[in-house]
């Protein structure tokens, strides 16, 4: 369940708007709810958005680093004196 809360008496997961716990049968105080619920859809969306942005930045950084290495390797060769250095 995405929209749920924990019963303060029996610690079972129940629906967010419940007035009575279905497991222990005790009445719940609606004013007792926490202000910041970590299971709310907004936090889940923010987490996925953060992971997506982080992955995109990692891919861009890897591409940039590989491109730079490739350009450095290409600049070591000269067009006219391609075989100036003998590597044998």
User: What are the structural domain ranges in the chain?
Assistant: 4-25+37-75
pTM of the predicted protein model? 0.42
Residue of 76 and 64 predicted with greater confidence: 64
The pLDDT of residue 49 is 97
Q: What is the pLDDT of residues 1-47, one digit of tens each?
A: 457 888 888 989 998 888 899 999 999 887 766 555 556 778 889 99
According to the model, what pLDDT value does residue 41 have?
78
Strand partners of residue 4: 15
The tokens for 6 are: 């924990």
Contact between residue 21 and residue 33 where contact means Cβ atoms under 8 Å apart: no
Q: Would you give the end-to-end CA distance of the chain in angstroms?
A: 68
Give the pLDDT band of residue 66 (cuts 50, 70, 90): very high
């Amino acid at each position: 369940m995405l929209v749920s809360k924990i019963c303060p008496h029996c610690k079972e997961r129940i629906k967010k708007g419940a007035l009575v716990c279905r497991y222990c049968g005790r009445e719940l105080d609606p004013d007792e709810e926490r202000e910041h619920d970590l299971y709310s859809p907004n936090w889940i969306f923010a987490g996925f958005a953060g992971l997506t942005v982080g992955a995109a930045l990692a891919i861009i950084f890897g591409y940039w680093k590989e491109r730079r290495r490739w350009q450095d390797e290409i600049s070591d060769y000269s067009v006219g004196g391609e075989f100036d250095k003998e590597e044998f």
